[in-house]
A and B are shown apart, each in its own frame.
Chain A
Amino acid sequence: MTTRSHFQQELEGLERSALGGLDLVTQALDRSLETVANQDIELASMVIADDDRIDGRYLEVHQGILSLLALQAPVAGDLRLVAALLHVIKHVERMGDQCVNMAKLVPLDGHEPPAEPRMLDLIQRMGDQARQQVIQCGQAFERRDVDMAQDLVRQDDVIDLLNREVFHHALELGDEPDRREWAMHMMLVGRCIERIGDNAVDIGEQTAFVVTGLFREFEDASHPVAAPPTA
């Protein structure tokens, strides 16, 4: 006989809300990238205003988790899931903030910045890659698929490489002040996208924690050879 069905429904609802936050991030990321590609200042202000939705989702899931902890005393796999969701929603909130950071950079260069196609292409490729990772980290969590979560590290390497290209290309864009300033802003945009990729990997780590009970970073600069956890 199944018991505590009300609790299970609440927990499942919280997971849906937290992972649904990743859909909001995908939308915000799409808009941020469009803002950057088209230097669209109006769209930028919408991205900034709409971050309230992601922040609201954070508060909703956070409060739900506190209530579950206080009222239902989850243990074992349920406890690991609750703890992981607390991390997931925090990463969702951070990813939303990175989209806002990107949107805030666009108006700094005015309506007709000296945009350069190759740089915009690199940023778009980084953004596409980050978008893919945001979706994949949600799917891996939902399916409790550690291999899929672990694959995010490989995906994230692509972003890191592109980010380095952005840096080198910014250096090549010359000394003209407006152009240089725009290139520096694009480096910051690249940095924001790179952080979103990292947050996706972090959510992957939470997937492994839920499944295995072991929290271990997939990539750890201070322990570069650490093996990933296995189910």
Chain B
Amino acid sequence: MATQSLRTEVVIGKRASRSAGEEPRAPREPIFQLEGVTVAYADKAAVRDVSFDIGMNEITALIGPSGCGKSTLIRCLNRMNDLIPTARVDGQVLYHGQDLYGPEVDAVEVRKLIGMVFQKPNPFPKSIYDNIAFGPRVLGMKGSMDEIVEGALLRAAVWDEAKDRLKSNAFGMSGGQQQRLCIARALAVEPDVILMDEPCSALDPISTGKIEELMLQLREEYSIVIVTHNMQQAARVSDRTAFFTVDPDDRVGHLVEYDDTETVFTNPADPRTEAYVTGKVG
């Protein structure tokens, strides 16, 4: 190739194509804009001064070692930290440009629009049907409940496995099915955003694969933020990745790098990100 020239110029990692000091490209359109967000529990900060935009119809992965504040941060995005008496959120979280913590904002409405799926599947001790119908009933949603239930189960890719046992107890489902049921439950109330906190860590690889496939389908209609310890999962499914770490001096988490997932996993800008994704530090 030195003299027998192939006409090749391949850039691995988009950072390399940017000039020094240039900012990463902005998300397509931000759904969340975090500005100087600090979350503290009983005056002890868990995560400090986080500022970044989360894109609409994108999958954004939050990665980092234990205690870096990524779960704390994702809980800020639907005001779940409100449920913890000692929690305090400083800075600004804008959702579609509106202050999520503004005095006029109804936290219940926020949690309807911004659903959450947890690490461990947590179906209600009810039938599959009632698990899905619960939220729409509470919210007084109009339309045929059967259609709402079917639509949610279809979108969560669990309809085929659930359609013949809708009246059966949800606990009879496998772990992977239960997790997809929980995703269906979140979808049933017609959310805008789905937050996922380690959604696959209790699942086997096949169930994990199904959830990941589902996430990629859901991205067309929803914005997804996922916290994961599985870096390969972040690499496989997310459009953008935010890497958090914890300050060794005061044990407070902070954002180190936020960029296209491809860049983070091929050519990260910060040596701390490089050390974490390559497994050189734990």
Contact = CB atoms under 8 A, between A and B. Distances in A.
Partners in one complex: yes
Nearest to B264: A76
Interface of B: 1-13, 15-17, 231-232, 235, 264-268, 273-274, 277-282
Nearest to B7: A222
A1 to B, nearest CB: 5
B5 A222 contact: yes
B281 A1 contact: yes
A76 B281 CA distance: 14
Interface of A: 1-4, 7-8, 73-80, 83, 153, 156, 160, 194, 197-199, 201-202, 205, 209, 212-223, 226, 229
Contact of A74 (B13, B15, B278): B278
A4 B9 CA distance: 32
A229 B12 CA distance: 13
B103 to A, nearest CB: 44
| Complex A-B, nearest 8 residue pairs according to Cβ-Cβ distance, in ascending order | A213-B267, A201-B2, A4-B279, A198-B2, A221-B5, A214-B16, A213-B16, A213-B13
A76 B268 contact: yes
Contact of B1 (A74, A77, A205, A214): A205
Given A75-B235, A201-B2, A213 B15 contact: yes
Contacts of B9: 215-217, 220, 223, 226
Contacts of B16: 212-214, 229
Contacts of A160: 3
Contact of B12 (A3, A80, A153): A80
A74 B279 CA distance: 9
A7 B266 CA distance: 17
